[in-house]
């Protein structure tokens, strides 16, 4: 039987493979909301934070019809679309999961909090959005 990478580390523990958040971590949820009012392309909105040692699991952006071709992406200072690539939000009540391969399982290995940022693109944004983020912490 095959095993996933983190399961293998779990099954053969060693000090170098202590995983904390990745295996047996506690899930934390954050929620934020923001209402855009003719927000320009490239507007940045802080909607969460990944604390040192925390792992991004998944998230959702729930939005109004923000404009005829308005896009949103979710990322951080290291990669502005790490969790959600530019996605069109032109349907009221649209719920889009933030599950890019680069973001799911991304761990903050720094000693500083990393802000999670929602960014507008393509055209102005007008309307309300909700952001839900699930992350794992070692304790």
Instruction: Write the CATH number for 56.
Output: 2.60.120.220
Say if 2 falls within a structural domain: no
Domain that holds residue 31: 26-137
Say if 20 falls within a structural domain: no
Are 118 and 86 spatial neighbours (Cβ–Cβ below 8 Å)? no
- Residue 102, Ramachandran bin (φ over 0: left; ψ between -120 and 50: alpha; else beta): alpha
pTM for the predicted model, two decimal places: 0.84
pLDDT value for 2: 54
> What letter does residue 16 receive in the DSSP assignment?
G
Q: How many domains in the chain?
A: 1
Are 59 and 74 spatial neighbours (Cβ–Cβ below 8 Å)? yes
Rounded to whole angstroms, how far apart are CA atoms 57 and 76? 14
- Cβ of 88: how many Cβ atoms within 10 Å? 17
pLDDT value for 5: 67
Q: How confident is the model at residue 24 (pLDDT cuts 50, 70, 90)?
A: confident
Say if 14 falls within a structural domain: no
Q: Share the mean pLDDT of the chain.
A: 89
């Amino acid at each position: 039987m095959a095993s996933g990478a983190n399961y293998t580390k779990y099954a053969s523990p060693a000090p170098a493979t202590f995983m904390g958040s990745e295996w047996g971590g506690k899930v934390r949820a954050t929620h934020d909301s923001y209402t855009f009012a003719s927000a320009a392309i490239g507007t940045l909105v802080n909607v969460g934070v990944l604390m040192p040692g925390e792992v991004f699991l998944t998230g959702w952006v729930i939005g109004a019809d923000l404009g005829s071709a308005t896009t949103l992406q979710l990322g951080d200072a290291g990669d502005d679309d790490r969790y959600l690539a530019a996605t069109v939000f032109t349907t009221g009540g649209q719920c889009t999961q933030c599950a890019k391969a680069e973001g799911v399982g991304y761990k903050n290995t720094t000693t500083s909090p990393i802000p999670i940022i929602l960014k507008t693109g393509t055209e102005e944004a007008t309307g309300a959005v909700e952001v839900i983020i699930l992350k794992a912490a070692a304790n």
